[in-house]
Amino acid sequence: MMTAADFSADLERYLSAETIANLRRADRYWDDLRHGRLTIPQVIATTDRTLADLKDSTDSDSLKDSKSSKSSKDSRNSKGSKDSKSSQRSKQRSQPGGYDVTICGGTLGILLAAALAKRGFSVLLLERGTLRGRDQEWNISRQELHELVELDLLTEKQLETAIVSEYNPARVGFHGSPDIWVRDVLNVGVDPVYLLETLKKRFLKAGGELCENVAFSGAIVHPDGVSVKLSADGEEATIETRLLIDAMGHGSPIAAQARQGATPDSICMVVGSCATGFTAEQNQTGDLMVSNQPIANHCQYFWEAFPPAMAGRPTCLPISIRSLIALAWNFLPLNIFGYCRIIKRFSSMTSKSNAFCSASFPPIVTVPSACPGIVSWRSVTAAADNPR
């Protein structure tokens, strides 16, 4: 049986240097989060001044600048360019509630943004990268997915195009208990690339605004809205919105400030890959949550496996990111349809279509009571998978 030490010694042989570096960085982050060593970001500030007050102030400053400029032609010429930029910034600040809603985080934020834009709200969606889905299915139920049709975000034809795989039933099983088979739970595989691109087009057609490669850098909460600071390519800008929605996930700086260093109540850590070589009969069912291991080291190990259409069968095991990878390799193949011969082939695991992946999800359910100060953020809220 391969030990963690054996596997760690062979990491460089099996995984790329970039993957190894990412794993180590993820482990350091998790260890710092677990022991409360992370620096608490300060990206949200509050003020009693309204956005309307700022408008009056900037209008007054503009009037003073105008009177001053008349006194000297040379002064006007030397300050012309600077005053022009200042005027543009003032104009931007002089529209309280310039957007009804600003959403930070595009991958899941596009779902909410498209729905709000369809209902007539002015929506700005910020994405620090390019808004594009990954090349591996998302799993969902057909009933949940059909809500996008009910919200008029997808047509029935687009819904069926987005679905690339479907199976039934799925297995749930734990150590010492009989397996339970369920139907219509996470049994539909969706193409995220097509889905997000379709929603993006619907969002823009409804009048929404999308800023890609633009990052959220801070915000000031006013009694009548929020001024939001954006950054891109070393430049900064400020917009105003009635409501700021944080859809940046558990790594969000807004969520981190709200948590005030609170440690997670638990952690779900995942490693996995996509395996190929299954027969059509083997891909008629899936594993939703299965384990043959009792709780050990304060952990419950389990795996999930979904029959895919795009990149091989995803097999994920929630364990620690790096030091316990060997555990997955030792007991996972013993249980899932003879995966031993397939999953232990690292060459298929690290190929373009069967990439190794890892993730962590730290639920922090005690934050609202632990951080009462968050209630002062009256125009800021969280959405999607953001644990606050």
Same domain, 301 and 329: yes
Residues lower than pLDDT 70 in the chain: 1-15, 56-97, 272-273, 275-278, 308-358, 365-376, 384-388
Give domain status of residue 116, yes or no. yes
- How many distinct structural domains can be found in the chain? 2
pTM summary value: 0.78
CB-CB contact of 193 with 131 (8 Å): no
Same domain, 303 and 356: yes
**Domain enclosing residue 329, as ranges:** 4-38+267-361
Same domain, 283 and 339: yes
CA distance 291 to 172: 8
Express each pLDDT in 355-388 by its tens digit.
Answer: 566 677 777 765 544 344 454 588 999 886 544 4
Express each pLDDT in 283-337 by its tens digit.
Answer: 788 889 988 888 877 788 888 888 866 555 555 544 444 444 555 545 554 444 3
Specify the CATH number for the domain of residue 218.
Answer: 3.50.50.60
> Kind and range of the H or E element at 44?
strand 44-46
Same domain, 34 and 47: no
